[in-house]
Amino acid sequence: MKVRSVAAILMGGVMSVVVGCGGAKPEAKGATPAPSAQAAQPRTASAASGEIGIPECDNYMTKYRECIEDKVPDTLKGTMRQSFDDVTKAWKEAAKTPQARESLAQACRQATDAARTAMQSFGCTF
């Protein structure tokens, strides 16, 4: 697979996470949504957590994970965690090939830029 193709696939996954979830508004103050089964799980690192070994990606992952855990409404956490885990697994796989590492760094920079805007509605900073 070409390096550009890997980067495009990864960016597509990231953008679906960031754009798909970023447009949601935080719960209104005083609203008490019913807790979901996934939201009730204890706060632990996801199965896909761990460093990629590319600073741009590691930084993005840390900030995105913190945003999900600390600022995203419980009703969205499960879905966002799963999407984030899927992207992280893909990035880890791509990082195994030297040819993809530079493209992956660029994809992570782009993901950070996209998240900066999309996750702002939750009060997250990137």
In this predicted structure, the answer to whether residue 84 has a pLDDT above a threshold of 50 is: yes
pTM for the full predicted model? 0.64
Strand (E) or helix (H) holding 76: helix 74-94
Q: Are 14 and 87 in contact (CB under 8 A)?
A: yes
Which residue ranges make up each domain of the chain? 62-67+99-119
Q: Are 58 and 77 in contact (CB under 8 A)?
A: no
Kindly report, residue by residue over 96-115, the tens digit of the pLDDT. 998 899 899 999 999 999 99
Residue 102: its pLDDT value, please? 87
Residue type, 97: T
Residue 22: its pLDDT value, please? 45
Q: Are 11 and 111 in contact (CB under 8 A)?
A: yes
